[in-house]
Copies of this chain bind each other. A is one copy, B any other.
Amino acid sequence: MEPPEFFDLKAYLSKRKAVVDAALEACFSEPEGPISDLMASMKYSLFADGKRLRPILCLAGAEAVGGTETDILTVACALELIHTYSLIHDDLPVMDDDDLRRGQPSNHKVFGEAVALLAGDGLLTEAFNLMAEAELTGSVSPSALLKVIGLIARASGYRGMIGGQLVDIQLEGKSADSSLVEFIHKRKTGDLITASVKSGAILGGGNESQIQAITSYGERIGLAFQISDDILDIEGNSIEMGKKAGADEQKGKITYPASVGLSRSKEIQAELVEAAIESLNIFDQAADPLRQIAGYIVERKK
């Protein structure tokens, strides 16, 4: 099914980003006292003009199954905290050693490595506080919320994102077959993206087949997203991306282009997006945002 022409994705993303940004601001409004450096470090990365893709996917996942925003927004924010923590830790010298992120100096370049490490820890931990404290006003049961907390913890934990990051750094400079590339990409990026949209579907009150369809969608765009990151690293513009292009090749990273070539990578990416949109066949126009986001993921410039 082709996404309808009339849907204004740019306006949708911008409106949703504003909702998420406002909710995130409200999460950190306490007095800071002796921990002001830690708070500044957490906020520096959290409000560094992120796309808010994971929160928006969570909201759009709920929307597809007829859920309401109120019950989902706190979990959506928590997903952004987890994503931000992962960027701070990934950029550290002992990991990817990146000096630039979203066009600004990396967290540790501004606050030092010790504070950056603790800011990452703080964001990760606070994500779970936010979720546990989510005020459930609608149809969401405490059991459903526990299910989502477990899902997000597994996706971002050693079985998922952290495991992907480990293998990613361990295989730097080595050759690997394409199954291992998929292993890394699915975990490093795909699992949290899948968990984001699936959480929205669960909290939005989706039934089993709806949740399954949205999970398939998430797995496909999650992998497509990381492949598009690989491609951007080759074809992208450092200024638009806000980070240095060509870094993957320089570091000998295991990527799709390095493993199957640039042209085949683009084919795989296009197939994944098409399959992702097909996963949504059971939904009406309530899933249009998800359909459009699938296309956006591969067309983005940063």
Q: Which residues of A does B touch, CB under 8 Å?
A: 30, 34-35, 37-39, 42, 89, 92, 94-95, 112-115, 117-118, 120-122, 124-126, 128-129, 131-133, 141-143, 145-147, 149-150, 153-154, 156-159, 162-163, 165-167, 169-170, 180, 183
Contact = CB atoms under 8 A, between A and B. Distances in A.
* Chain A interface mostly: helix
Contact of A126 (B34, B113, B158): B158
A153 B169 contact: no
Contact of A180 (B34, B117, B158): B34
A78 to B, nearest CB: 10
B132 A117 contact: no
B145 A117 contact: no
A66 B26 CA distance: 39
A135 to B, nearest CB: 11
Contacts of A37: 166, 170
A129 B126 CA distance: 14
A51 to B, nearest CB: 23
21 contacts: A30-B159, A35-B166, A35-B167, A89-B117, A89-B121, A95-B114, A95-B117, A118-B165, A118-B166, A121-B121, A121-B124, A122-B157, A125-B153, A126-B153, A126-B157, A128-B128, A128-B149, A132-B147, A132-B149, A141-B142, A142-B142
- Copy number in the complex reads 2
A166 B40 CA distance: 12
Contacts of A133: 146, 150
B114 A94 contact: yes
Given A146-B132, A146-B146, A153-B126, A158 B42 contact: yes
Nearest to A41: B166
Contacts of A113: 94
A129 B159 CA distance: 11
Contacts of A118: 89, 158, 162, 165-166
A167 B34 contact: yes
Contacts of A124: 121, 124-125
Nearest to A171: B34
A115 B150 contact: no
Contacts of A150: 128-129, 132-133
A31 B131 CA distance: 29
A96 to B, nearest CB: 9
A132 B129 CA distance: 12
Contact of A166 (B38, B145, B147, B159): B38
A92 B131 CA distance: 29
A253 to B, nearest CB: 14
